[in-house]
Each structure stands twice: as structure tokens, then as C-alpha cells.
Structure 1
């Protein structure tokens, strides 16, 4: 007898789920579609229907006493094709409803729609009294549709975004409103502008002066590029805004060309916070405003002559308003543009590697802190601490946790972020621990990129089934006459050092890419007398494998333990040499009184859980792609033989918009000497192996 088939829960049906989470939005969509079917608007434009004047809103309807039209006109759509953007625009209401409830969403929609209609009517009622053809023409127009309410909901939804996406969303909304109002100038565009203004006044969620310096620069960069695009589009396409209609290529092409050249000159400088770019942009904005005022005077004095010599000035007037708004914005965020070209972060009072070593010995550090003494790092002094970092492709990558007393970590993090952003760099913390993660600024994101594998050495005994691999390697090593030696590179004779170099070069030669750096050391780092080597010597005197161990200090110069760095083996040598070396090292470290032994974290080998988000899942896929080249996951599985406990290793960053640049910077930090050809060859190799 077959088992009964399980019936899907009704709550899982998409329509029922939407009704439960956003009933008001679903009801609005349903009403729009029902009205579209009943009135025929889904296949015949409402503008062509006989009943259109009776239900459409606008200044003429209100002047003639049709008070009901703001209600009735809301649920009709002007043309069949307009249903697509109209229904898509309800997404803003859905977002608000899911975040703040149906009542709040309906209030935003209802008040936004009515305010947009009545405010636009009042504006046009006054505008038609002036010698303003655009306002006089628009004052006679009737319209239908819920776009005022849905635009208010979109603006409200943007106000609910987390920083910094909230300010970026507002910039997009402003750009859309400016383009549609100044260059298209339909009645709906006027209503959208008033709906956005209403939400701005109510929510007060656009507070640009409270954002970070880097965000203010980014908005300036995007805004000036948008200005350039708008000017080019208005030159190439017809427009019909408040300043009058224009035909393609009839605008002031010379002005547009000069503006575009200036924009290209200053855009990158604004993004980096350069003072010269800010000053030049202010000057050019003022020039645009003065030009607009001059044109107004000249066109009033001699309109025919000016039209013949200058062309249509409407685009210049419209874009001058945008330049004026941008001018005001630059003044508001003037403190963001104080970075100086050529200033090298940390150079004024830089620390030496010896000072860094002394600080680690004095105050202790994490399992990766000794990497801060390696070549290629720079140091930023932060009060009681030091932050080691590399600058790669405009990204300041802080390595591991800030050095110094544990209580100074929050101040060091804050100082590093402030200084790097002040210099136009993107800050991030790579391979840091939980203390730094807990001290990260508000709104920052953390991503687990690896798990530090730590073996506690107190009471270590290789007993039980879980230690069988290690016991077998140690026993076999004793039978085969292997010799284990803890030493330093400088203490070994020339012949042994040459063997170590040969083994290492053979390992690197098998890779399509050069030996990785940054958090992965080489024999150069192993020359440090504080770094210990673990050697496996065969009965014939050959080195079959070796490890390098970085010191882990506690406060007061106490050796707390050791961190694994290099792992190299000779081809054809002792089979379980790595298990033998790590097991022998752990035994000797435990006898010396060390507390822990870190096997480090294999990059990109962390098993992401569903709750860690999409980016963590993408890193997992990247790890699978890189597995044939570097074997991160295989290394992680190997380390499980030593029964470690795991501590998360984090990447800290401001927001997802930085990840592309951070990824590029980390790639160059890990592979500083790799060529484009080597990257391409490695990519082809990964594709073939997949």
C-alpha cells in the first residue's frame, strides 16, 4: 500500500503568501485590474473613452466642481501599456507594508496620491497666471492613475533602507524626478515631484550631512556623472519641460561639450575627496549659473538675435537648475573634500617592524598578529595601538586585529576608518577576530571567510579513535627511522637550507600562479629568528618535509602558542609527513608549556550556512572554483584530523558596494607579482577542470 501523498500547505501558495504579507498592495493591484477590465482600459486607452472627463483628475476637473475625481481617477490607467510600469511601481508599497504594516502603507499611498493631485493643481493654478506657456498648457490637462501614491510609497521605501543604501536610493529618486520634471514635464511628473517632497518633509530620512565622508564623495561622484549624462541626452533627444520644448541637436552643443570635459576632469577627484576637484566643480557650477542669468537677460533684450547665434536656451536653463542644486550640495558636504594628493597614509609617523614586534610582545596578539611584521605592510599609529595594512587598488586592507592593548581596539578601528576614508580609500579589515568584529562601526557588515583551527595543548594526549591518524603517522615515523627537529632557519647548515628552498620551489613550480603572499608566508618570512621550523629528516639525511611556526604572544612577552604558516613536503618522501610533523610539533609545544597551536584558517574554506546570506554562498562557490588551483577545502579537511576547535575569521566592510573593489585589492595583495597572462591561464585551467 502506497503512502498517502502529502498535500501542500495552502500557506505556501504564492498568492496566499502575498495576501498574508501585503494585503493592501494586493488589493490595490486587484482593483486596478478589475477596473481595467470593467472599463476596457486594459485594451483601449482611457483617454479615448467617453467617460474619461468624468473620472479624470486635474485642475480643470476641480475648477468645474468634480470633487470626486481624485478618488475615481486613482484607479484607472491612461493606456494599456502603462499598466506594466504602474503595477511594477506597487513594489514600493509592498516593501513599506511588509516593513511597517498595511495601515502605514495605505496612509502613505492615500495621502501621497491626494497631496500630489491637489498640490500639482494648486501649483498650476498659480503658474497659469504667469507668462509661462508650459504651466498654461499643463493647467488644461486631465490625468488618471495611482502614480502619485505609488511614488510616495517608493520614496517611503527608500527611507527604510539601511545605510548607506538609503542615501544612494534617494539620489536615484532625485535623479529620476529631476529628469522627468525638467526634461519631460508631464502632469504626472509634477505630481511625482510633490509626492517625493511630501515624504521628504514627513520622514526626514535624507540627511546627507550625517552620512560618512566616503558616502558624501560617492554621491557627488554619481551626481556629477548623472549631470553629464542628462546634458548629453537632452542634446540628442527632444524635451518638453518647464523651460520649453527642444528639438534634437538644437541645443547649445558647445556648452554641453565643455561641461562634459570638465565633468570627466573632476569626477575621479570628487570620488577621492580631492580639494582641487571640489573647488573647480564649485567654480564651474557658478559659471553655469552666471551663464544662465546672462542668457535670460540677453534673450529678453534681443531674443531673435540670440536664437540665431546661440540656439535654443531651454536645455541650458533646465540644466542650470540642476547645477544650482549640485552647488548647494557641495557646500553642505565641503568637509568631505580635504584629501591631499600624494599623501601616504601612515608615512608621517610610521612604525618599523621592530617596533611592531615589541608591541606584540608587550600587549600580546592573536594567532595571526605576527604576520604584521612581514615585508610589504604599512602601519598607522592610532593612539595606543597600530593598525598594519596594505593599500591595493584604492583599498586599505587592515590585516588581522589592530595591535596594542585589547581596550584600544575600538579606538584603533575608528581611527583607521576615519583616516583611510579621509584619504579617499576604501577601508576593510581582513582576517580579523571577534574582538575587532565587535568593535566595527555601526552599519558595517561582517563576513566569515575562514575558520581558525585551534588545537588546545593543555593535557594533550593522542589517545582515542579521533587521534588514530596522528598516532599512526608518529608510529610509522619511528619505525621508518624518521627524525623530528624543532629549529630555526638560521640555525640550520647550508645544505639543509638548500633542501628547503628546493622543496619550496618545486611546490611553487607546480602552480599556474606565483606563490601567494599577504597572509601566506614564504621562506623569506621564515628567516625571522622568532619563527621556528619543524623538520622531518629521513634516515639518509634528506628533508622530507617542513613546517614554519609563527609565535603567538600573550601580554608581557609570554609565549601562548604557535601558528602554522608554511607546509612543504618532498615528492617521493615519507608518506604521512605532514601528520608526523604537526603531531610531533604539538607534542613538543605542549611539553614546553604552550597553551595552543593554531593550524591557521584555509581561505574560502568556511562552510557557509544559509543564514549567513547570499555573499557567503557565493564565496563558497568561488572556493569550489579555486579548489583545483590551491586546494583550500582539501587543506581544511586535512586539518580536521587534529580535532581542532574553530574560531571565525572575518572580513569587515562598510557595504556590499565595496566588495568588488575589495576583491580586486585582495587578489593583488595575495598575488602581487602575478601577470595578466598568469591570471588568464589559471582561469582557463579552472574551466577545463570543471
Structure 2
């Protein structure tokens, strides 16, 4: 069978074909549940249960087959849901590494968990350890040791930083389950994970970034908070003792939960105050554990009556031990928690606007570089250039590409990422070019957000069928005496400027939202003396439409091209005014000797190749939804009339967990002044557009 034949199969069929071992094991477990009734009644009440269940008692009785037979049974009907779901790890492992590897991890993990747990409990039962003595008499069924081993092995296949995050969840789950519940299954789960952790060695926390160090502390504090809540609501009985349900006040737990959530959020953002509070909380809990231990030792050494404690004090010692581990960790990575709410970004004092313009004149820039001079932007000086960004919703949102020498771009990118993370911000680059994408650190992601439409100007001629619509618009304008004028705002009369403002205000009023910002300018930006206006004037002196053009600098202060920003037309004016203005501008710039003319990118209007994946599907569906309001697809099709070439623009980000915050930051950057009412109105317009 050829690869082409396989690729034509439905995705579900291809996935199923690559996980046969997982499906067979699931089918055997379900079949056993049907034959012996475990799917609808507790199998642990079945007379067959002692003959197939595994555990230390069965092994000491010589029932050597039980580790195999017990794998295919489940003790309670509702546990089947968790059991079948746990095979997802094995399915992923088999899909990525093959059937043999998946079966090896499953069976070695299952058998090791069973025999190692039996050995551990046998040794523990020899000691005066009530928990070990009780658990050594327990027997169990189920494949959870093998599935936990597969889940742990699957975590090792994930890309950074998800590998460390999933490993932390797995370790947190197994440690908490073992310490505070400590059933035989919990011991087996912990041993299976420990085996894979030792063999696989895919968890390398020493290589984590500042951001990951904060996430580890954030997750650890949440786990400790969850422990406090759970031990309050339900009784526990782990290796270190037991606790009673509702052993503390619910009001106290509620207050503690709020405090922990606030402090954990501060840790995730790298705030110094949250680090200080975490150190104090950890030290306080460790001190409570130490004082309790001293109190018990004193009372017992003096033969005094034991202090009446709520629950087994050993559980308090276990919790204090976890707090001690957190204390050691946050002190170890204390440099990751130095950010303040308005921590500056940059190796030195930020450059002024005049210095930014000077850098653009000296080193040149891309088609969006002049947008760096607009209001609302901040500047970070690196050792090799300048980064232009906006601070929105905890995100350092970079506009386009770094400014400065081309050979220093990678250094600027790396420095800005480090500085942003130390400031507690999420760095990302919006509308970045391929060269910036290539300068990213390993593991960063990219998403196409637009195609920059470039018209090459040298030798430009509007001949042939591809230019028919542009040629027709220019000829029609000539017949109707529509004049083309390339000018600057400051050079126009008060009356012309008033017409420009009226046309622009009418266009904005039709949208129901204020004018967008960030990469979309307004008439305020068009007043810049270096920005040019292309105006279409009717014979009676009315402005039928206008464009604004931003300069694109090459090296040594030479303008090598122009970027389209504003496009506005008067209602009832000359029909093909935009084709006329853009075509006439192209001729004008070409005659001046410019190299390129950028028509800018239409967001969410990228032409994806077949099979581009889920991001392409999502972008296309989102573009269809937004079309009634912003017309991105229509704008993209309009620009195709000018036969451009395309340069991809990217959103560059560290990982998918940041996309929600980045989406919020982009919304506030593009619409910083929009109100909730205006957003709601735009949403209603989207709904109406979907129904039409």
C-alpha cells in the first residue's frame, strides 16, 4: 500500500490503525466486564475476585498468575470510566513510538508496580507502621500501574515547555494521592511513575526558563492549597497518618484559599511581594510542624498525657515537609521573582521618539517600521537595537520587527524576551517577518496572521489582462476629470483637511466601534510630515477619497518604498476611487524611483495550503465571522487586483498557554478606547451577519 493511499484515509481510521495494542487491551477489559458483570455490579463482591486479584497476600499464597489476570478487571462499575480514559497515554505513546514500545512500557510498568508495591509493603509491615500493616493485607485489580507508566512516558514525548508542565501534574497527583490517601493503588501509581522517571529521564527542571520556574512555584502553591481544602472536606489516611473531615473551619479555609490564589497569581507573574508572602507562609507552616514535633517529644519524654490533637499529627508533619520543599525551591530560584508592576524593559534608558526615527533613517526597516513612531508605543533599548512594544493585559506586545542593524536582530529578540519575562510580562511579536521568526529561541511557536501584499515598482506598467481593472479605473477618472494629487497634510488648505476629517469620521461611525490602533493609523498619524497623502479630487473641488502612505526606509536615510495605511472614500463619490488612487500612487512612486509599495496585510486573510492544520481552519472560520464587520477577506481580494507578491506576517509566541492573554492584549491594542457597549454592539452585528 502506497503512502498516497494511506494519506487518503480519514483521520480517525489512520489513528485507529496505529494504536492496535491499546484498542485490544481496552476491548479485553470491557469484555471481562461484560462476562463477569463488573460493568454493572462491584467486581470486588464477586466470588472470582480473590482468585484473580493481585497483592502481597495473593503472592505469598502462591497465586503467581494474579498480576496478569488482575490487569483485565476493574473493581467498581464507575471506575471503568477512569480506567478507559487512562489508556489515552498509551494510545499517544503507541501512535508516536509504535506498538512494541507502548506494550513494553505498559507491561513492565504494570508488573513492576505490583511486585515493587508488594515488596515495599512487606518490608513496611515488619516495622511498627500501621499504614503499611493495613495495606499489606489489601488486594487490587486494574491496569492502572501500566497506564500510569504510559502516561508518564507520553509526557516525555511532549515538546518544551509542556513536557515539564505535564510531568509536574503527574508528580503532584501521585505524591498527593500517596501521602494523603495511601491506598494500594496509590502506591502502585507512584512506583510506576518513579520507574519511568528513572528510566526515561525526560524531566530536566534545571534547564527551565525564568517563566517555567515561576510556573513550578505557582503550581506547587496551588497543590498545597488544594491539599488544605481536600483534607478539610474528606478524611485521609496516608503513610504519615490520618486526618478527619471538616477538621478546620470552612471560613478559615475560604480565606486561606483566596490568599493562596492571590499569592499564586503573583508568583506566576514573578512579583516580589508574592515571593515574600510565599516564603513567610512556608516558614510558618514549617515552624508549626517543628513546634508540634517538639511538643510531642517533650510530653512523651516527661510521661505527660498526650496533647489532644485534631487528627494524626503525622499528617501535619507530611504537610510541613511539602511546605519545606516549596520553601527550599523558591529560595533557590529567588531571582525569578524580581518583577514589579511597572518594571522597566531594556538594558538602558529607553530611547526617545527622535532617537527611534534616527535609527529608522540610519538602518532602515520593514514595511511596518514607521508605525513605531505612533503614540501608544513604548521602546526598549537592547545591546544591538530597539524593540517597539505595547504593554497590554500583562503582555509585552511587540510591533513588527526589531529596529537596528540586521545582524543584531537575533540578539535583540533574545534580550527582549529575557527582559520581558523578568518584568513579569508575556513576550510576543505581532506582524513579524520571517527573519524575526528565524531569530527566535528553540521551542517558540508561530502563527500566520496576515500576508503583506507587496507591489514591485521598477518597470511597472499597467498592461495586459491582470491590470485591466486598474487601467479601467484610471481611464474612467480621466474621462470624468478626477484629479490625482500626492501631497502632505500640512500642505493642504483648511477646507481640504476638513473634508478629510468628515470622510474619516463618517467611515468610523458606520463601524459602531472607535478607530482601530496599533497597526492601523488615523488622521492623527497622517499629519506626520513624513507621511504622504494621495487625494482624488472631483472637478467641483470635493475630495472623493484619499490614502495615506508611510515611508519605508532603506539604509542611510533613503526611502525605498511606501506602505498603505488609511483608505477612505466619500459616499456617493467616484466609484472606482480606490483602484484609481492606488494605481496612480504606484505610477507616481515608480517614477520617483521607489522599489516597493506595500498594501499592508489583511488580518485573517492568509491563503493557506491544503492540509495546513487546525490553526488554518480556525483562522478561516474566524475570518468568515468577522467579515460582516471588518471585511478582511474582501480587502484581501481587492488587493489582488494589483498583482502583488506576498510576504507572510507571523504572530510569534512561546507556547499555546499564552494565546488567551495575547488575544486579550491584541484586542486592547487595536481597540484601546472601545467600551463594553461598543463590543456588544459589534457582537450583535456579527450575529446578524451570520444569519444573512
Partner residue, 1:3: none
Partner residue, 2:19: 22
Which residues in structure 2 correspond to 1:644-655 (within 5 Å)?
644-655=644-655
Match of 1:191 among 175, 184, 188: 188
Counterpart Cα distance in 2 of 1:552 and 1:90: 56
Shift of 1:569: 1.1
Shift of 1:626: 1.9
Counterpart Cα distance in 1 of 2:80 and 2:683: 45
Q: Is the 8 A contact 1:209 1:332 kept in 2?
A: no
Q: Is the 8 A contact 1:346 1:378 kept in 2?
A: no
Counterpart Cα distance in 2 of 1:673 and 1:348: 31
Partner residue, 2:483: 483
Partner residue, 1:53: 50
Counterpart Cα distance in 2 of 1:650 and 1:13: 30
Counterpart Cα distance in 1 of 2:360 and 2:352: 13
Partner residue, 1:441: 441
Correspondence 1:85 to 2:110: no
Which residues in structure 2 correspond to 1:36-185 (within 5 Å)?
36-185=33-182
Distance 1:81 1:410, change over 3 A: same
Distance 1:258 1:311, change over 3 A: farther
Report which stretch shifted further, 163-172 or 285-294.
Answer: 285-294
Q: Is the 8 A contact 2:243 2:310 kept in 1?
A: no
Report which stretch shifted further, 516-525 or 164-173.
Answer: 164-173
Partner residue, 1:4: none
Distance 1:123 1:441, change over 3 A: same
Partner residue, 2:240: 243
Partner residue, 1:206: 203
Shift of 1:406: 1.2
Shift of 1:191: 0.5
Q: Is the 8 A contact 2:347 2:381 kept in 1?
A: no
Shift of 1:346: 4.1
Counterpart Cα distance in 2 of 1:309 and 1:17: 59
Partner residue, 2:639: 639
1:80 counterpart SS class: coil
Which residues in structure 2 correspond to 1:616-635 (within 5 Å)?
616-635=616-635
Shift of 1:182: 2.3
Report which stretch shifted further, 355-364 or 73-82.
Answer: 73-82
Partner residue, 1:500: 500
1:404 counterpart SS class: coil
Report which stretch shifted further, 396-405 or 256-265.
Answer: 256-265
Partner residue, 2:383: 383
Partner residue, 1:421: 421
Q: Is the 8 A contact 1:236 1:248 kept in 2?
A: yes
Q: Is the 8 A contact 2:179 2:240 kept in 1?
A: yes
Partner residue, 1:5: none
Distance 1:392 1:13, change over 3 A: closer
1:67-103 Cα deviation digits (max 9, x unpaired): 3332332233223333332222111111111111122
Q: Is the 8 A contact 2:347 2:383 kept in 1?
A: no
1:513 counterpart SS class: coil
Counterpart Cα distance in 1 of 2:306 and 2:670: 61
Partner residue, 2:686: 686
1:222-242 Cα deviation digits (max 9, x unpaired): 331232122112201222222
Partner residue, 2:676: 676
Q: Is the 8 A contact 1:92 1:157 kept in 2?
A: yes
Residues matched between the structures, number: 683
Q: Is the 8 A contact 1:452 1:648 kept in 2?
A: yes
1:584 counterpart SS class: helix
Report which stretch shifted further, 151-160 or 79-88.
Answer: 79-88
Q: Is the 8 A contact 1:551 1:561 kept in 2?
A: yes
Partner residue, 1:267: 264
Partner residue, 1:323: 323
Report which stretch shifted further, 612-621 or 584-593.
Answer: 612-621
Which residues in structure 2 correspond to 1:520-559 (within 5 Å)?
520-559=520-559
1:640-676 Cα deviation digits (max 9, x unpaired): 1111111111110111111110010010001111111
Counterpart Cα distance in 1 of 2:18 and 2:27: 15
Q: Is the 8 A contact 1:251 1:312 kept in 2?
A: no
Counterpart Cα distance in 1 of 2:625 and 2:390: 26
Counterpart Cα distance in 1 of 2:74 and 2:158: 29
Correspondence 1:230 to 2:255: no
Shift of 1:17: 4.7
Counterpart Cα distance in 1 of 2:610 and 2:227: 42
Shift of 1:251: 4.3
Q: Is the 8 A contact 2:57 2:136 kept in 1?
A: yes
1:160 counterpart SS class: coil
1:167-212 Cα deviation digits (max 9, x unpaired): 1111221232133222322100110011111111111222222122
Counterpart Cα distance in 2 of 1:647 and 1:15: 35
Shift of 1:452: 0.7
Distance 1:163 1:49, change over 3 A: same
Counterpart Cα distance in 1 of 2:255 and 2:564: 59
Correspondence 1:432 to 2:432: yes
Q: Is the 8 A contact 2:6 2:14 kept in 1?
A: no
Partner residue, 2:397: 397
Distance 1:258 1:661, change over 3 A: closer
Counterpart Cα distance in 1 of 2:319 and 2:411: 44
Distance 1:610 1:291, change over 3 A: farther
1:163 counterpart SS class: coil
1:568 counterpart SS class: strand
Counterpart Cα distance in 2 of 1:305 and 1:537: 100
1:421-478 Cα deviation digits (max 9, x unpaired): 1111001000111111111221111111111111111111111111111111111111
Report which stretch shifted further, 309-318 or 629-638.
Answer: 309-318
Shift of 1:46: 3.5
Partner residue, 2:410: 410
Distance 1:10 1:651, change over 3 A: closer
Correspondence 1:217 to 2:214: yes
Distance 1:525 1:199, change over 3 A: same
Partner residue, 1:570: 570
Counterpart Cα distance in 2 of 1:375 and 1:454: 26
Counterpart Cα distance in 2 of 1:523 and 1:308: 76
Counterpart Cα distance in 1 of 2:667 and 2:688: 22
Q: Is the 8 A contact 1:181 1:241 kept in 2?
A: yes
Shift of 1:292: 1.8
Shift of 1:401: 0.8
Shift of 1:62: 2.6
1:586-628 Cα deviation digits (max 9, x unpaired): 0111111111111001122224445433233222222222222
Q: Over aligned residue pairs, what C-alpha RMSD do you find?
A: 2.4
Shift of 1:362: 1.4
Partner residue, 2:472: 472
1:390-425 Cα deviation digits (max 9, x unpaired): 010100011011111111111111111111011110
Distance 1:249 1:315, change over 3 A: farther
